[in-house]
A and B are shown apart, each in its own frame.
Chain A
Amino acid sequence: MLSIRFQSGQFFRLLPSVLALAVFFSACPDSPAADRYGTRREAACFDYEVRVGIGGYPMFEVSDFGMDGSGGFFGYYFDAEPYYRETLAGIYLPGLGRGYVTGVLSAEVDFNIKRWFTVTFGIGVNSAFQNVFDPMDGGKMGRNHCTTVSILPEARFNWLNRDFVRLYSSVGIGLGMDVIRKVTYEGSDTGYFPVFQITPAGISLGRKVYWFAECGIGLQYIGGMTGVGVRF
């Protein structure tokens, strides 16, 4: 039996190559789909899709899951006891600026297996950051960073698949990783976590090039996501 085992670093290095190969083969003019559906094809008649999007409220940066003993990445500055901030040491905690997130930037490759069923492989990236200020002189000490990456295979169910419009729902399970760097901490803190994601409703408008919007809930993001895609 052939088995392939990747270290996490190898997997991330190989992923762009896999995606590029998938796009290359899906774009061949003599693809089976082209034979079946002719030159002007409906949305339902493409075999492959590639799409990118942005949106969602990233869970991990703003939840309790991000760092032990804290209120998340934007919570307590130190992984400290609950009443640390009420102590004498709490007076000398650094100040924190506004906390920002980029929103989840996603890219995915889709395989249209059936008219009603699509399998997708996606990657989502979010960055969160916050300036840190010295309690003694108010000067900027640096910036805290948290980057989250999630790999998310999904099963997508196209419950309306027409010439120009597609309505769908999807469910997925994958793996996430976050890397946290904080001012005054040496090195970084890396964590891994399972990712579950449900998209109750999504819509795409277009044929070869299309726009999509969807709402979702899960550990990759909560809220809405939108973007564009290309079908082959």
Chain B
Amino acid sequence: MKRSVNTIFLAVSAFLTASCVVADPETVKRTSEGLASYSNSRLVPLFAIDPVAAVIAAVDTDTYLSRQGEIDDQEMASLFPYGVLHIDDRAIKINGVANVYPDGNGINTPGAKWEVDRFYDPYSIHADSDYLYYTGYEARGSRWVLECISEGHWNVDLLSVNVLASCDQVHVAYVKEESGIREYTVTSSGSLTEYDYTATCSTGDDGVTIKFISNIDAGFSKWTMVPTAGIFNVYFSKGSQKLDYCYLTFAENGFSCETGLD
């Protein structure tokens, strides 16, 4: 009896004091959701949203420069909620958005070449805006050259970005503006490499439609850019080894994806 009590006592003590499982499992992130999430949150902003954002910053700057002295306070607040600073006679800094460097010609003048530096400044007094960085997506920091090929059409080149990426054949076209919502289409292709892995992506021939919504009453997020139509294809690889694909299709109410994974 005494031995049994001792045995039970020992077993209970051991159970109470010794813990076996100390870490939860970590599932593989290579899932349909993982690929779609990465594509939509990292690649779409760089290759589709940011070129359009650069064009919009340039267009608004052109409006401001060409109509200096004529713009009333309400329109000014709508264009630049955080105000602007003059860097020199022509270049301006749109607080919370970008530095814009015009070449002296209007942004809709064929042949005009402007530069837009979508700086990221975490110490800015507009840091909340910087975080979402004009578009509703996390900041990346990129510098673009815009060349007007005809009114409302621009070729956009990526000069630099703080990740290992290349962007080619980017074209942005103005579509329309209704109820304060501007609409552009962007066709682009490019690739982004992180460590040994590369994502190669491109829009369809018809491009992706981006809607730009500016709302000065919307608290910290005063701008939103949303893809509302078009397809965006991504191919994942490691060296010469093809790994996965992710086809995003945008609609007004969001996006769907096809990956070939369950």
Contact = CB atoms under 8 A, between A and B. Distances in A.
Interface stretch (A39-47, A56-64, A156-164, A178-186): A56-64
A92 B25 contact: no
Contacts of B24: 98-99
Interface in A53-90: 54-57, 61-62, 74, 77, 84-85, 87-90
Contacts of B9: 211
B26 A95 contact: yes
Contacts, number: 105
Interface string A199-232: 0000000000001010000000001111010000
Nearest to B29: A91
Contact of A226 (B14, B20, B194, B195): B14
A92 B243 CA distance: 10
A100 B197 contact: no
Given A88-B38, A88-B192, A88-B236, A56 B17 contact: yes
Contact of B23 (A89, A99, A226): A99
Contact of B25 (A84, A97, A213): A97
B252 interface: no
Given A89-B197, A99-B22, A225 B17 contact: yes
Interface stretch (A10-18, A112-120, A131-139): A131-139
B18 interface: yes
A99 B29 CA distance: 18
A56 B18 contact: yes
B19 interface: yes
B28 to A, nearest CB: 4
A135 B195 contact: no
Contact of B35 (A89, A91, A128, A223): A91
A91 B236 contact: yes
Nearest to B19: A57
A95 B16 contact: no
Contacts of A94: 28
A86 to B, nearest CB: 9
B38 A95 contact: no
B22 A100 contact: yes
Contact of B17 (A77, A128, A223): A223
B74 interface: no
A88 B197 contact: yes
Nearest to B244: A91
A136 B30 contact: yes
Interface string B27-40: 11110001100100
Contacts of B25: 95-98
Given A91-B236, A225-B17, A96 B196 contact: no
B29 A96 contact: no
Nearest to A85: B29
A98 B23 contact: yes
A91 B34 contact: yes
Contact of A88 (B20, B21, B194): B194
Interface string B188-207: 00001111111100000000
Contact of B18 (A87, A103, A128): A103
A133 B195 CA distance: 21
A211 B10 CA distance: 8
A130 interface: yes
A93 interface: yes
Interface in B110-159: none
B238 interface: yes
B20 A101 contact: yes
B28 A135 contact: yes
B194 A89 contact: yes
A74 B236 contact: no
A108 to B, nearest CB: 16
Nearest to A130: B23
Contacts of B13: 55, 211, 213, 224, 226
B68 interface: no
Q: Which of B9, B17, B28 has the most CB of A within 10 A?
A: B17
25 contacts: A54-B14, A55-B14, A61-B22, A85-B29, A88-B195, A89-B196, A89-B197, A91-B29, A91-B38, A92-B238, A95-B25, A98-B21, A101-B22, A103-B17, A103-B19, A130-B23, A135-B30, A211-B6, A211-B13, A213-B13, A213-B17, A224-B13, A224-B16, A224-B17, A228-B10
In the A-B complex, the 8 residue pairs with the closest CB atoms: A99-B23, A224-B17, A55-B17, A74-B23, A103-B18, A95-B28, A89-B195, A226-B13
Interface of B: 6, 9-10, 13-14, 16-30, 34-35, 38, 42, 192-199, 236, 238, 243
